[in-house]
Amino acid sequence: MHCCVSGLWSLCCLLLTLPPITRASQDCIPRKSIPYQNGNIKVFREEGYTNYTTMLLREDQGLLLLGAREAIYALDLDDISRRKSSVYWKVPEEKRKECTHKGRLEETECRNYIRTLHKQLGDDVYVCGTNAFSPTCDVLKYEGGQLKLEGKLEEGKGKCPFDPFQRYSSVMVDGDLYSATSINFLGSEPVVLRSSHTSLRTEFKSSWLNEPNFIYMDVVQESEDNAEGDDDKVYLFFSESAVEYDFYSKLLVSRVARVCKGDQGGQRTLQKKWTSFLKARVDCSVLEPSLPFVVQDVFLLRAPKWKDSVFYGVFTPQSGSSAVSAVCAFSVQAISEVFSKGKYKTPITVETSHVKWVMYSGEVPVPRPGACINNAARKLNMQRSLDLPDNTLQFVRDRPLMNEAVTALGGQPQLVKGGAQLTRIAVDRVRALDSQLYDVMFIGTENGCLLKAVNYDGEMFIVEELQLFNPPEPVKTLRLSAAKGQLYAGSESSAVQVPVSECGRYKSCVDCLLARDPYCGWDRLASRCALVSSGDLLAHTSLIQSVRHGNASQCTNSMRVQQPQNYTLVPGNNIKLVCHPGSNLAQVHWQFNGHHLPGPSSTSNPGSKYYFYSEGLLVFNVSAADVGEYTCRSLERANGQQYALTEAVYRLQLGVVRNPRGRGAGEGTNSTQTPQPSVPNPKTSPVDRNLVPSLPAPRTEERALVALQVAVGLLAALLVALLVWNLYRGHIPLPGRGAGVAKPRGVEGSRLQGAMVDNSTHRQVPFQAKVLPEEKSQVDGSSCQPLVDNYRSLTNGEPTPSPCVPLDGFKYIDDESEI
C-alpha cells in the first residue's frame, strides 16, 4: 500500500524536477539528404562473418582494428575495404557444448564476440571476447603486416561481458583496464572494475549500481595544471533503475559516475573497493512532458585544457514516452563541480520498511567523501586512499549518489530529432574561416543514417543526413579519426567509412554557403566548394563561408543556368515534370510561360489541371494549351534573405495523337528502371489500373472531370491511409508528411532525372503518369527520412520550411484531407 501512496508522491516530485512543461520543443530537418549511392562509402565485410561492432583506431600504424564475431581484422585506415590482415578466434567445440548445456543458444550466444580492443602500454593490443559465455582475453600483435594472437587465454570475467547482447564499456589507462560489466553468468552482478596489481571494484549494492546498462567510459587527465593537486578521473556513463524515485513502474535515469585513478581502496572499510565512486544523475530533457531520457552513447570531445573538454551524449525516450531523441553536451567542469562541491543524497526509512532518498543536510566528514587524494588531504597527512578515515569511507559507501543532477550545457539539448532514434555519436571540433571553433556532431541512427549537425549559438542545424548502410541497419559503432578526416561505422553486417565532409557536393556558391558546413567554403577563384583546412588560413583568401548565419549574399554570380529539356506531348495524356530541389529547406515554385502556377492549394479542387507533389509537377490531360516552357525554381530562405535557384526547365510541344495505352508498356517501361521515382508499367501496377481506364483518353470534358475526381479521390484515400500508417508506426509527425513525400527531398545529384525516361531532346512521352505515394519500404527507411512537402508549406501561407520545426505546430491532417 505504501508503495502506491509514496509512488504518487514521488511522481509529483519527479515531475517537479523536470523542466516546466512548455511546447517549445523542436524537431530538425536535415538540409540535404544523401542517398547511399552518392555517399562515397567504403565498405568492409567478410562473407560468413557478422557483428562488426568493436573498433580500435591505430592512427600510429595507419590501421583500423575491427572486432567482429570470431574474427579480428587489420584494415587500412585510409580505405577500410583494403584488408591488411585478419585473425580468427573461434570457440572450441567443448566450450560450445558447455554453453549450450547451460541453456544458451548455440548459434547466437555460444559464439565468440570480440568486445574489447585496447592499446596496451607497448604496441600490443589487449583483446577480449565473450567466448561462448566464458569471457576470455588475449594479447594481439601486429608484426610484419600480420595479426597474431598470443594465445594467453586469460580469464576475462569482469573485463568483458558473458552475454554478447549486454551493453558494457571499458577503457585502458596507463596499462590498467577499467571495465563496467556483469561479472557473473546470469548477468545479474554488475561491477565497475579496475584490473591491476591493486584490483578495485564496486560494492555489490543497489545504491551503487541498480540494474545498470553501461554505456561509456573514458579518462580525463584532471591532474594536469591542477591547483588543488587533484587526480585523473575515469568517468562512466550508464543508465539504471532510479532509487530516488519510486515510480509506479521501473523508472530509468541516466548517470555519470567517476573514480579516481590513484584510488587504492580503504584500509578496513571499503577494502579493495573504490573509495572514490560517486555518481550523479545527468539530465537531457526535451522541453515537453516526458519521463527522463536514457543515455545511449557518449563521446568525449577532448580540449587542450581538460576543463574545456565536453561529453556529448545521445539520449532516447524511455518506453514511448516521447517521440524524439536528443543530444546533450556536458562540460567536464560542470560534472566535476557536482562531485566536488555538490550535496549528497541519503537514504531515510519511512513507514517502517520503505526507503527514500533525500538530500543529506547533516555534517559532511573531512576529507570530503569520494574526493580524490588532493592537496587538502595531503595536508592532513593522507597520501593514499588507504589513509582515509573510516567516517569518510563509511559515508561514501552509504551515499554514493549526489543530490544535484548535472545539467546540459546551455540548459537545453544541442539537437532534437524526430524519426528514427539516434544511436551513436562522435564529435569533431573544427576551426571555421571566422577562426571560431565549432563542434560538428556526427550521429548514427537506428535506420542506418548518419546526421551531421552543428549547434550555432543555440540554433540547431542539420547540415545533412547520409545513408550509411544499405539495406538500413542500426549504427552500432561510430569512430572518428579527426586526423584523417574520416568516420568509421559498424553494424551487424558490415563496417563502413565516410569522409567527414565532401564539399564537392555543394554545386553552387549559394548551396555551399547555405550548407553552413564548417569544413567547406566557396572558392571564388576556382568556382567550387572546397575544403577549409585550418592549417594555411592565408591560402584561403579566395574562400568565403558563413556558418554562423548562413548568409549567401556574398555569392556574386550564383546563377545556375539550366538547359531546357524538350519534350513532345501526346494530347490527352498526363505528364510528370520532375524537380528535386538541392535543399530540403527550399520551397518549390513552378512557372508556366513566365506565369506562376497557382500552387498546391488548387489541388484541393478536383478539376485542377495540375498536381504538385514531392517529385515535381503533374499536368493532367494535356492539350495545345499546355504547350510552352515550365520552370521549376527553388527558394531557400536563410538569415532573412531569400535565394532563388532554377532547378529545371522543360519545354513542351505538341505531337501526334497516338493510342497511349498501346505504347505505354513499350517506351514507358524504361522509366520503371530509373532509380528516381518514375512511372511504372500500367499493366503491372494495380493502382494504376484503376487510374488508366478513366484517365487516358477522355472523350468529353465531362468525362475527364469525373475521371479526375475519381483519381484525386483515390489519391486522397491513399494519402490518408499512408499518413495513418505513418502515425501508427510512430513515425514522427513531421509537418506535411505523407503526401507522397516518402522520398527525401533535396536528394543530391538527382535533379533533372527521372520521369521523362531519358534526356534526349525530342521524345514523346506516351505513358501514363502515376500519382502515388512511394512504396512502403521507402517510408520504412531505405532512405533516411521522409521530409516536409515543400509545395505544401509554400501555399498554405506558412513560412519557408525552417531547419527546426516546433513540434506542436502540425496541421498536417487538415492539409492532407484537403487534397
**Coil, strand or helix: which one is 423?**
strand
DSSP 311-371: EEEEEE-STTS-S-EEEEEEEHHHHHHHHHHPPBEEEEEETTTEEEEEE--SPPPSSPTTP
- β-strands 565-569, 641-654: how paired? parallel
Q: Which is nearer to ligand NAG, 51 or 407 (CB)?
A: 51
According to DSSP, residue 286 is labeled: -
Angle, vertex CA 818, rays to CA 817 and CA 819, nearest 5: 95
Q: How far is the CB of 166 from ligand NAG (least distance, A)?
A: 9
Residues of this chain that interact with ligand NAG (CB under 6 A) are 50-51, 108, 113, 164-165, 492-493
Q: Which is nearer to ligand NAG, 114 or 171 (CB)?
A: 114
Q: Which is nearer to ligand NAG, 52 or 237 (CB)?
A: 52
The DSSP element (H or E) to which 101 belongs, if any, is helix 93-101
Q: How far is the CB of 71 from ligand NAG (least distance, A)?
A: 12
Q: How far is the CB of 113 from ligand NAG (least distance, A)?
A: 6
Q: Give the integer Cα–Cα distance in Å for 195 and 156.
A: 10
Q: How far is the CB of 168 from ligand NAG (least distance, A)?
A: 12
Q: Which is nearer to ligand NAG, 103 or 145 (CB)?
A: 103
Q: Give the integer Cα–Cα distance in Å for 276 and 808.
A: 45
Q: Which is nearer to ligand NAG, 51 or 783 (CB)?
A: 51
Q: Which is nearer to ligand NAG, 108 or 604 (CB)?
A: 108
Q: Which is nearer to ligand NAG, 68 or 555 (CB)?
A: 68
Q: How far is the CB of 114 from ligand NAG (least distance, A)?
A: 11
Q: How far is the CB of 115 from ligand NAG (least distance, A)?
A: 9
- β-strands 459-467, 628-638: how paired? unpaired
Q: How far is the CB of 68 from ligand NAG (least distance, A)?
A: 9
Q: How far is the CB of 107 from ligand NAG (least distance, A)?
A: 9
Q: How far is the CB of 473 from ligand NAG (least distance, A)?
A: 8
Q: Which is nearer to ligand NAG, 478 or 586 (CB)?
A: 478
Q: Give the integer Cα–Cα distance in Å for 159 and 150.
A: 18
Judged on CB neighbours under 10 Å (0-12, 13-18, 19+), 5 is exposed
Give the 3-state DSSP-derived string for 485-538, with helices as H, strands as E and coil as C. CEEEEECCCCEEEEECCCHHHCCCHHHHHHCCCCCEEEECCCCEEEECCCCCHH
Q: Which is nearer to ligand NAG, 228 or 492 (CB)?
A: 492
Q: Are 259 and 234 in contact (CB under 8 A)?
A: yes
Which residues pair with residue 467 across a beta bridge? Answer: 449
Q: Which is nearer to ligand NAG, 110 or 147 (CB)?
A: 110
Q: Give the integer Cα–Cα distance in Å for 44 and 477.
A: 14
Q: Which is nearer to ligand NAG, 53 or 223 (CB)?
A: 53
E strand map for 545-639: 565-569, 575-578, 586-592, 595-596, 610-613, 616-619, 628-638
Q: Which is nearer to ligand NAG, 493 or 795 (CB)?
A: 493
Contacts of 656 (CB under 8 A, 6+ apart): 570
Contacts of 711 (CB under 8 A, 6+ apart): 691, 694, 695, 771
Q: Are 621 and 695 in contact (CB under 8 A)?
A: yes
Q: How far is the CB of 111 from ligand NAG (least distance, A)?
A: 8
Nearest to 106 by CA among 164, 150, 66: 164
Q: Give the integer Cα–Cα distance in Å for 768 and 619.
A: 11
Q: How far is the CB of 130 from ligand NAG (least distance, A)?
A: 8
Q: How far is the CB of 50 from ligand NAG (least distance, A)?
A: 4
What is the residue type of 697? A
